[in-house]
Structure 1
Amino acid sequence: MATDRRTLLADTAIAVLADTGMRGLTHRAVDRAAQLPPGTTSAYYRTRQALLTALVRRLVALDQEELEEAGAHTPVPRTAEELTAGIAALVGARLTGDGRRRSLARYACAVESAHHPELREILLPRENQGRRLVRAFLAAQGVADPDDRTVTLLTCVDGLVFDRLVHGGSVQDEEIRGLVAAALR
């Protein structure tokens, strides 16, 4: 749960965006969803752009926390199957519950960032423990240029998540296994 008003409003804005899309993200909609008096959101985030920027910053912070936490308790995978299982767990989390909402909001913001470079800058992929684990695994397997392969693998995984959010269904372990195998070639 949010610890302060700004965080509460940003968290609520993520949920509103995920549930209603970019056009539904308004100050009033956030006020209603947060069960706050009308005008509260605009008092904290005067413009829609300020609200959207706060939402994107909070979204990135939540994603980074999730990836750091997941990676903190996970050793570097020793086998392709271990890496596949780790990625499958992340994908499952991104397609269900709050993870699904954040994923929907993230992709809506990614599209919006094509028109707002300041958002694109916030959304740039960041270093985190999950990314470090993938890179360390690929390096241990002797993959040439593990940095580039890590980016490619995670981008492909991201594409699978996007596809399933749009078209429904789940990501199968075989799909992830195939991506991991391609990264190892």
Structure 2
Amino acid sequence: MPTDRRTALADAAISVLADTGMRGLTHRAVDRAANLPTGTTSAYYRTRHALLTALVRRLVDLDQAEIRTAGAHTPTIRDTDQLAAGLAAFTHQRLTGEGRRRSLARYACALESVHHPELREILVPRANAARSAVEAFLAAHGVTDPEGRTITLLTCVDGLLFDRLINGGTISPDDVIPLVTAALHPPEPR
């Protein structure tokens, strides 16, 4: 458990949200999940909105750390099979264990951000080495708008992840190859 109390509470809040959904995210539930006396969460995060904001910030911090680690080990992408395998491996992490819990919490927060735009600002995707590697791959293969196609590709992979999270199953490179192919060869405008 993190030594910083605020971080520990945010981590517990992520677990509560993943386990019980948005309605179950209460100060008392976080106290129980963190194994702390009743009122502890409220002392650190007075309002539910403050708790939710801390949870979203922690999710982003965890995601960015994970992406930095993956980016540090991301070689130059040579072909569509390698890109598809990398995206499938990344999504596998998001479908299992702690990654699954964070994915469930992330999607719940994304839906909540419709009503709280300040949360959307925190959740906005950030530039990172992995995203840059995908963009460089698309640019090297002559895609005219590599930045836009990268966003489209990663959004499609995110949709596939969401589907598997809700309906079960895994994501293999074979599931991702058609998405990569579509990013490399976008349809002609009508």
Q: Which residue of 1 aligns with 2:177?
A: 177
Runs of 4+ residues over 4 Å off in structure 1: none
**Corresponding residue of 2:36:** 36
Match of 1:72 in 2: 72
How far does the alpha carbon of each residue in 1:156-182 deviate from its partner, in whole angstroms, 9 at most, with x for none? 000001111111111232220110111
Q: 5+ unaligned residues in a row in structure 1: which ranges? A: none
Q: SS in structure 1 opposite 2:8? A: helix
Letter in 1 for 2:148: D
In the TM superposition, residue 3 of structure 1 has moved relative to its aligned partner by 2.9
Percent sequence identity is: 71
1:99 corresponds to which residue?
99
Per-residue CA distance 1:18-53 (angstroms, 9 max, x = gap)? 010000000000000100000000000000000000
RMSD over aligned Cα atoms: 0.8
Code of the residue aligned with 1:58 in structure 2: it is: R
Which residue is equivalent to 2:124?
124
Tell me the TM-score normalized by structure 2.
Answer: 0.95
Instruction: Point out where structure 2 has 5 or more consecutive residues left out of the alignment.
Output: 186-190
Distance in 2 (alpha carbons) for counterparts of 1:92 and 1:122: 24
- d(CA) in 2 for partners of 1:52 and 1:172? 33
Count of equivalent residues: 185
- Asked if structure 2 preserves the Cα contact closer than 8 Å seen for 1:11 and 1:58, the reply is yes
Report the counterpart of residue 115 of structure 1 in structure 2: 115
Quote the Cα distance in structure 1 between the aligned partners of 2:69 and 2:139.
22
SS in 2 for 1:88: helix
Q: 1:129 deviation in Å?
A: 1.2
Cα distance in structure 2, aligned partners of 1:129 and 1:15 = 28
Shift in Å, 1:68:
1.1
The 8 Å contact of residues 76 and 134 in structure 1, kept in 2 or not, is answered as no
Distance 2:21 2:50 in 1: 17
